[in-house]
């Protein structure tokens, strides 16, 4: 299980990459992106198929950004494996592989690959549980995780 301390460390980063942000404005990843911006984070979007997201220049890979210590990965597990190598080369120190229901972006080979290179990994979970902890449905999701003993401590 991921430690709450590592999640808090990630959320304390003033600037991080968000990899796999959708080009579709109504997509969940875009809503999460906007939530981070509204909370004052400098979120750098990464999607090789898009030039800009929410008025921010979009990059093709983490290597193209420079100067980010963290990355939130919102890709499919197959894409995550390639993305993690990219992040390791870019010097990313903490990766959060998003998931809420199902695997999300989590890939066990990618987790091992990152950890073998000294990159700390949050393998799953949704940032909304911590950004919007007091709002429905995130508070209900957190309550269920706590009930079943899988909420980060």
Q: What is the pLDDT of residue 1?
A: 45
pLDDT tier at 3 (50, 70, 90 boundaries)?
Answer: confident
pLDDT in tens, 143-153: 444 444 455 66
Residue 138 has pLDDT above 60, yes or no: no
Q: What is the pLDDT of residue 117?
A: 93
**CA–CA dist 37, 141 (Å, integer):** 22
CATH 2.60.40.420 correct for 4-147? no
List beta partners, residue 8: none
Q: Say how many C-beta atoms besides its own lie within 10 A of residue 22's C-beta.
A: 18
**Distance set, CA 126 to CA 5, 8, 62, 88, 98 (Å):** 15, 13, 21, 22, 6
Query: What is the sign, positive or negative, of the torsion defined by CA atoms of 7, 13, 14, 20?
Result: negative
Contacts by 51-57, CB closer than 8 A, 24 or more apart: 53/21, 53/23, 54/30
pLDDT in tens, 10-63: 999 989 999 999 999 999 899 999 999 999 999 999 999 999 999 999 999 999
User: Number of helices (H) and strands (E), helices first, in the chain?
Assistant: 6, 7
Residue 71 has pLDDT above 70, yes or no: yes
Q: What is the pLDDT of residue 89?
A: 93
Contacts (Cβ under 8 Å, ≥6 apart) of 62? 17, 19, 46, 68, 71, 83, 86, 87, 89, 90, 92
pLDDT in tens, 80-135: 999 999 999 999 999 999 987 666 889 999 999 999 999 999 998 888 777 655 55
């Amino acid at each position: 299980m991921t430690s709450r301390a590592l999640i808090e460390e990630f959320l304390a980063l003033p600037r991080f990459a968000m990899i796999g942000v959708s080009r579709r404005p109504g997509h969940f990843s875009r809503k999460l992106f906007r939530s981070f911006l509204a909370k004052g984070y400098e979120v750098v979007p990464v999607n090789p198929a898009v030039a800009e997201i929410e008025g921010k220049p979009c990059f093709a890979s983490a290597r193209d950004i420079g100067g980010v210590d963290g990355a939130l990965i919102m890709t499919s597990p197959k894409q995550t494996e390639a993305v993690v190598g990219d992040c390791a080369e870019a010097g990313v120190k903490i990766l959060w592989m998003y998931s809420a229901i199902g695997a999300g972006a989590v890939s066990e080979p990618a987790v091992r690959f990152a950890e073998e290179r000294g990159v700390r990994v949050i393998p799953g979970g949704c940032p909304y549980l911590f950004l919007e902890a007091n709002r429905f449905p995130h508070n209900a999701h957190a309550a269920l995780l706590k009930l079943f003993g899988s909420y980060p401590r």
